[in-house]
Amino acid sequence: MIPDEQQRWVAQRSAEDLLWEILLKSGFPLTTPVETLTLGAIRAIAERKSLRVVLLDEGFAKNDQLEVNAVQRFRTKGVASFYGIVIRMFFRDHAPSHFHVEYSGHKAEILIETLEVVAGSLPRRTLGLAMEWAALHRDELRAGWSRCQRHERPIPIEPLE
């Protein structure tokens, strides 16, 4: 339980105070840039491929569409996202090496070496796009699998354009 005098102090803190506290506790320096949230800013932040991003609800200025867009851009677990397709890898996942594809409620696991679907299913067009992307990025997928096996985040991979 927080004593009354601390509750009053916490209640008087601004959103900016909370942001800096989170940044400092997360190991960010005081020189960390703080940006106004716009779709362009979110895209630029996502392109930096940072492993950590701190966003406050207040920064979205009650723009639900912008907030949903940001969540979708940052929720990919660091692999890739394109055309509504999300590619994921999980730490210490079972062998053989594979990646997960999600699209509109459909899920599949695809082997990296053979591009064979070993679990689940996807709509034909989605599967084709995922296979095209995977064929272009097989070396990065192998590297991502190795990193995940060491409980490290995979390096983000360029989406299909």
pLDDT at position 3 is 44
pLDDT value at 76 more than 70: no
Pick from 84, 93, 73, 106: nearest CA to 144: 93
Record the pTM: 0.56
pLDDT at position 11 is 65
Render pLDDT for 24-73 as a digit per residue (tens, 0 to 9).
887 778 888 777 777 787 777 776 666 567 776 777 777 888 887 777 66
| Residues composing the chain | 161
pLDDT at position 49 is 61
Q: Where in the chain are the domains?
A: 4-74, 80-149
Render pLDDT for 131-149 as a digit per residue (tens, 0 to 9).
999 999 999 999 999 998 8
Contacts 24+ apart (CB under 8 A), 11-18: 15/56, 15/58, 15/59, 18/56
For the chain, give the percent of residues with pLDDT over 90: 32
pLDDT at position 44 is 76
